[in-house]
Structure 1
Amino acid sequence: MFQLMRQSPWQGAMSLRDAMNQLLTDSFVQFPFATGGERNLVPAVDLSETPDAYVVEASVPGLKAEDLTITFEGNVLSICGEIKRESEKQEQNYHHTERYCGKFQRSLTFPNMVKSDEIKASLQEGVLRLEVPKAEEVKPRQITINVGT
């Protein structure tokens, strides 16, 4: 004989919430561990869309244009760079350090074809801005309806 057990209708929703929290946690920038573990720099990126182009804005404070490399292959845009720390003074004993130095890479996959030969990049006040024009076939267009006479 089977026993009936009462279950909360929210039991499945709680696991969904936990899954969404994990997804959001994995999607955001990973900061260096304060305890001294391996440090990964992943620049924070905003991706927006206009009717004619995708716009990428990446936070790269303290970097100059010559510290960055931008490539586009297939439908993947990659931003690579290196943060170089000034030579540490030997007479100082560090008790805690969180500033990152080293190489990083951030890649974005575009859902549609773009005009990769027309991508424009600018760097101003620590923000790298890329304008990635859409290919003609992915631009939305309005189709008129002819009414029969």
Structure 2
Amino acid sequence: MSTNRWDPWRDLVTLRDAMHTLLEDGLTRPRPGFTATTADVPVDVKETDDAYVVLAALPGVEPADVEISVLGDTLRISGEFKDREPEGTRWLMRERRFGSFARTIGLPTAVNSERATAQFSNGILSIQLPKVDAARPKTIPVRMAGAE
């Protein structure tokens, strides 16, 4: 009669393999009809003295397919990644995602939406959002006490 010893590490390795398979197959491979999410729209936000500048990567998106709105200190970018390939194309691999997207960004202060501008260059949407006057830095001069 042979005796098998219980090895707890063998069970952990099996669990690790199962989790790896779950994550690899279930989350990373795109499915047909998949809708784009916020993770599909990487955004950089920088601040200057007078404005906030938002850069969004939207490769292949036409300016007419993008909508930008500002309400107080909240910016919303929405639109659609359209599939422009002819129907019936035989794909060997397809990782790009298509569908509508929306990204909402909270800014530290309100902006002047009347003076905001946006432009596309090489697949990057650049949005200039001027700060309201109350949010701009102000310099307060310091005087010597008793000096006039």
Q: Do they superpose with TM above 0.5?
A: yes
Identity among equivalent pairs (%): 31
Query: 2-side partners of 1:65 and 1:35: how far apart?
Result: 26
- Give the number of the structure whose residues are more often helix, by fraction: 2
TM-score (norm 2): 0.70
Pair 1:34 & 2:29 matched? yes
Q: 1:110 aligns with which of 100, 107, 112?
A: 107
Query: 2-side partners of 1:84 and 1:69: how far apart?
Result: 14
In the alignment, structure 1 segments of 5+ residues that lack a partner are: 1-31
Offset, 1:86? 2.3
- Which of 1 and 2 has higher RCO (CA within 8 Å, sep 6+)? 2
Pair 1:81 & 2:76 matched? no
* Count of residue pairs the alignment pairs up: 117
On the 8 A contact 1:63/1:83 being kept in 2, the answer is yes
Instruction: Provide the residue aligned with 2:60 in structure 1.
Output: 62
On the 8 A contact 2:72/2:111 being kept in 1, the answer is no
Deviation per residue, 1:96-126 (Å, 9 max, x gap):
4212111000110111121111111011110
Deviation per residue, 1:51-94 (Å, 9 max, x gap):
1100000000111110100011232111111111125442x444
Instruction: Provide the residue aligned with 1:120 in structure 2.
Output: 117
In the alignment, structure 2 segments of 5+ residues that lack a partner are: 1-26
Instruction: Tell me which structure has the larger Cα radius of gyration.
Output: 2
TM-score (norm 1): 0.70
